[in-house]
Structure 1
Amino acid sequence: MLSKKTCKCMIVLTAILLLLLSGGCGGRQAESEPNEFMAWSFVRGLVRSRMEQPNKAIFPEFSQEFVERQGDDIFVIRAHVGAPDDTGTMVSYNFIVTAEYLGNQVFQETSVEITRAP
């Protein structure tokens, strides 16, 4: 038979173990907050997929100037891309994409405008 002191120790150790397992250590990571670079990466992939030859699209380096944040979860990206047209001639396109952050590192476009630069 276990002594009262041993039983109390086992109860305390069990409580600590349950606390650690339920969330103190080893709990789920907090969901990452959206940022301008995440929005840029999403939009770049979206615009690339709409080009005649997606694998030849050339985007500028990321710049904060391209991204306007409207509230917590809405991003408007204004930038340009160089890509071959249907004849293979390299052309510059301007684009404006509004994207909404849905959570869990997922974005969804709410508007897309891609125009050939003058």
Structure 2
Amino acid sequence: MSKDPNHQLAAVMAEAGSSNKVLAKRVREVAQRHGDRLGTTHVAVQRWLDGGGIQRQTAGYVAEALSDKLRRKITPKDLGFPGTVSARVPAGATRYAGSLAETLSTLEALTHQAPGGRAVAG
């Protein structure tokens, strides 16, 4: 069973002028801002481009990294990652955003949470 290449991710990466290594670094930085530690490398990015799967939270970090670069809202679905959601914002971790894209991503994540930090089905 062969996987179909992820043309959507490739197109957004090209628009952002991002190589596999640069995107991997940005994804690690976004995860770190959210208090997570990822070991994402250029090899993982190539797997995604080749049609490999991605964890839901990581897809949210990829979308946020590309949103920051392009200064517009990008969702995991825009990147060809169906069935994924944006990164969840940890309770009490809100802060002033560094960009409009980051602000919009934070607001979107908050709309998927119930009081007490529970996820809301969307």
Under a length normalisation based on structure 1, what TM-score does the superposition of the two structures give? 0.27
Q: Which one has a larger percent strand, Structure 1 or Structure 2? A: 1
Under a length normalisation based on structure 2, what TM-score does the superposition of the two structures give? 0.26
Highest relative contact order (Cα 8 Å, sep 6+), 1 or 2?
2
Q: Which one has a larger percent helix, Structure 1 or Structure 2? A: 2
Q: Which has the larger radius of gyration?
A: 1
